[in-house]
Chains A and B, each alone.
Chain A
Amino acid sequence: MKSIRIDSVSKRYGQVRALDQVSIEVEKGELFGLIGPDGAGKTTLMRILVTLLLPDSGTAEVEGWDVRKDYRKIRRLVGYMPGRFSLYQDLSVEENLRFFATLFGTTVEANYDTIKDIYGQIEPFRKRKAGKLSGGMKQKLALSCALVHRPTVLFLDEPTTGVDPVSRKEFWDILSRLQEQGITILVSTPYMDEASRCGRVALIQKGKILGVDTPGGIVKEFQYPLLAVQSRDTYRLLQDLRRQSWAHSVYPFGEYIHLALSGPIGENTVVHLLESLNHQDIEVHSIVPGIEDSFMERMRAMEENGGIYPKS
Chain B
Amino acid sequence: MRTIFFILRKEFRQIFRHRVMLPMIFLMPIIQLLILSNAADFEVRNIYLHVVDRDLSPASRRLIGQFAASKHFVLTQTSFSAELGFRDLEANDADLVLEIPADFEKKLLRENEASLHLNVNAINATKAGLGQAYASAIIRDFNNNLRMEWLDMPDRQNPGRFDITHSFWFNPDLNYKAFMVPGILVMLVTLVGLFLAGINVVKEKEIGTIEQINVTPIHKSQFIVGKLLPFWIIANIELGMGLAFGKLVFHIPIAGSLWVVFGFAAIYLLVVLGMGLLISTVTETQQQAMFIAYFVLVVFIMMSGLFTPIESMPGWAQKVTWFNPIAYFVDVMRMVLLKGSGWYEIRLHVYAMMAMALAVNTLAVLNYRKVGA
Which residues of A does B touch, CB under 8 Å?
A: 50-54, 71-72, 75-76, 78, 80, 82, 84-91, 95, 99-100, 102-105, 145
- The reply to whether A104 and B217 contact each other, CB–CB distance below 8 Å, is yes
Query: 8 A-B contacts, Cβ less than 8 Å apart?
Result: A51-B214, A52-B214, A52-B215, A76-B217, A88-B14, A103-B213, A103-B216, A105-B2
Segment among B70-78, B134-142, B203-211 that sits at the interface with chain A: B203-211
- Asked whether, in the complex, the Cβ of A52 is within 8 Å of the Cβ of B209, the reply is no
- Which residue of B2, B209, B218 contacts A87 across the interface (Cβ within 8 Å)? B209
Task: Specify which of A51, A82, A102 is in contact with B212 (CB 8 Å cutoff).
Answer: A82
Question: Are B212 and A86 closer than 8 Å at their CB atoms?
Answer: yes
Contacts known (A75-B217, A78-B215, A86-B211); A95 close to B13, Cβ less than 8 A: yes
Contacts A91-B13, A99-B6, A103-B6 known; A50 to B215 CB distance under 8 Å?
yes
Known: A52-B373, A88-B14, A90-B18. 15 other contacts (CB 8 A): A71-B373, A75-B216, A80-B212, A80-B215, A82-B211, A86-B209, A89-B207, A91-B10, A100-B212, A100-B216, A102-B3, A103-B213, A104-B217, A105-B3, A145-B212
Asked if B211 and A72 make an inter-chain contact with CB atoms under 8 angstroms apart, the answer reads no
Q: Which chain A residue lies CB-closest to B216? A: A103
Q: Which of A71, A102, A105 has the most CB of B within 10 A?
A: A102
Q: Shortest beta-carbon distance, B187 to chain A, in Å?
A: 29
Question: When each residue 9-25 of chain B gets 1 if its CB lies under 8 Å from chain A and 0 otherwise, what string results?
Answer: 01001100110000000
Tell me the bound Cα distance from A207 to B207 in angstroms.
Answer: 26
The interface bits of chain B over 218-238 (1 if a CB of A lies within 8 angstroms of the residue's CB, else 0) are 100000000000000000000
Give every chain B residue within 8 A of A71 (Cβ-Cβ): 373
CB-CB under 8 A from B3, the residues of chain A are 102-103, 105
How far is A104 from B3 in the complex, measured between Cα atoms in Å?
9
Given A54-B373, A71-B373, A80-B212, CB of A86 within 8 Å of CB of B217: no
A89 and B217 CA atoms in complex are apart in Å by 22
> Is the pair A86, B208 in contact by a Cβ cutoff of 8 Å?
yes
A237 to chain B, nearest CB (A): 43
A294 to chain B, nearest CB (A): 33
- Closest chain-A Cβ to B370's Cβ sits at a distance in Å of 11
In the complex, chain B residues whose CB is within 8 Å of the CB of A95? 10, 13
CB distance from A128 to the nearest CB of B (A): 13
Asked whether B373 lies within 8 Å of A51 as measured between CB atoms, the reply is yes
Are A103 and B218 neighbours in the complex by a CB distance under 8 Å? yes
Chain B 178-218 near chain A by CB (<8 Å), digits 1 or 0: 00000000000000000000000000000111011111111
Q: Are A102 and B17 in contact (CB under 8 A)?
A: no
Q: Which 10 residue pairs across A and B have the least CB separation, nearest first?
A: A86-B208, A102-B6, A103-B216, A80-B215, A75-B217, A86-B209, A50-B215, A84-B208, A82-B211, A76-B217
Instruction: Find chain A residues with CB under 8 A from B212 CB.
Output: 80, 82, 86-87, 100, 145
The chain A residue sitting closest to B10, CB to CB, is A99
A51–B215 CB distance below 8 A: yes
Q: Which residues of A contact B373 (CB under 8 A)?
A: 51-54, 71
In whole angstroms, how far apart are the Cα atoms of A152 and B18 in the complex?
A: 36
* Closest chain B CB from A142 CB (angstroms): 9
User: Which of chain B's residues have a CB closer than 8 A to the CB of A82?
Assistant: 208, 211-212
B218 neighbours in A (Cβ, 8 Å): 103
Assembly CA distance A86 to B204 (angstroms): 9
Complex alpha-carbon distance, A147 and B112, angstroms: 97
Q: How far, in angstroms, from A75 to B212 measured CA to CA in the complex?
A: 10
Q: Which residues of B contact A86 (CB under 8 A)?
A: 207-209, 211-212
Contact present for A75 and B6 (CB under 8 Å): no
**Nearest B residue (CB) for A54:** B373
Q: Contacts A90-B17, A91-B14, A99-B6: A104 and B208 contacting too (C-beta < 8 A)? A: no
Q: B31-81: which residues lie under 8 A (CB-CB) from chain A?
A: none
From the candidates A52, A75, A104, name the one contacting B211 in the complex (CB within 8 A): A52
Q: Hey, which chain A residues are within 8 Å of B17, CB to CB? A: 90
A50 partner residues in chain B, CB cutoff 8 A: 215
Q: Which residues of B contact A51 (CB under 8 A)?
A: 214-215, 373
Within 8 A of A (CB), among B97-138: none
| Smallest Cβ-Cβ distance to B372: which chain A residue | A52
CB distance from B196 to the nearest CB of A (A): 15
Q: Which residues of A contact B10 (CB under 8 A)?
A: 88, 91, 95, 99
For B211, the chain A residues whose CB sits under 8 A away are: 52, 80, 82, 86
A155 to chain B minimum Cβ distance, whole angstroms, is 9
Complex CA–CA separation, A19 to B179 (angstroms): 62
B-chain residues with CB within 8 Å of residue A84 when the two chains form the complex: 208
B209 and A88 contacting across the interface, CB-CB below 8 Å: yes
Contact of A75 with B215 at beta-carbon distance under 8 Å, contacts A88-B14, A95-B13 already known:
yes
A114 CB to closest chain B CB (Å) equals 16
Chain A's nearest CB lies how many Å from the CB of B12?
12
Known: A51-B373, A82-B208, A82-B211. A90 touches B216 (CB 8 A): no
Contacts of A145 in B (CB 8 A): 212
Q: Which residues of A sit under 8 angstroms from B208, Cβ to Cβ?
A: 82, 84-86
Residues of A within 8 A of B2 (CB): 102, 105
Smallest beta-carbon distance B21→chain A, Å: 10
CB distance from B76 to the nearest CB of A (A): 57
**Residue in chain B with minimal CB distance to A53:** B373
A78 CB contacts on chain B under 8 angstroms: 215
Q: How far is the CB of B32 from chain A (nearest CB, A)?
A: 26
Q: Which residues of B sit under 8 angstroms from A88, Cβ to Cβ?
A: 10, 14, 207, 209
A75–B218 CA distance with the chains assembled, in angstroms: 9
Which residue in chain B gives the minimum CB-CB distance to A52?
B214
Smallest CB gap from B214: residue in A: A52
A102 contacts across to B, CB distance below 8 A:
2-3, 6
Select from chain B the residue with minimum beta-carbon distance to A80. Answer: B215
Closest chain B residue to A79 by CB distance?
B215
B211's nearest neighbour on chain A, judged by CB, is A82
User: Which of B3, B208, B215, B218 is most buried by chain A, counting CB atoms within 10 A of its CB?
Assistant: B215
Q: From B13, B14, B18, B217, give the contact of A103 (CB < 8 A).
A: B217
B223 — nearest CB in chain A belongs to which residue?
A103
How many Å from the CB of B214 to the closest CB on chain A?
Answer: 6
Q: From A76, which residue of chain B is reached at the shortest CB distance?
A: B217
A50 CA to B14 CA, complexed, in Å: 27
Minimum C-beta distance from B226 to chain A (A) = 10
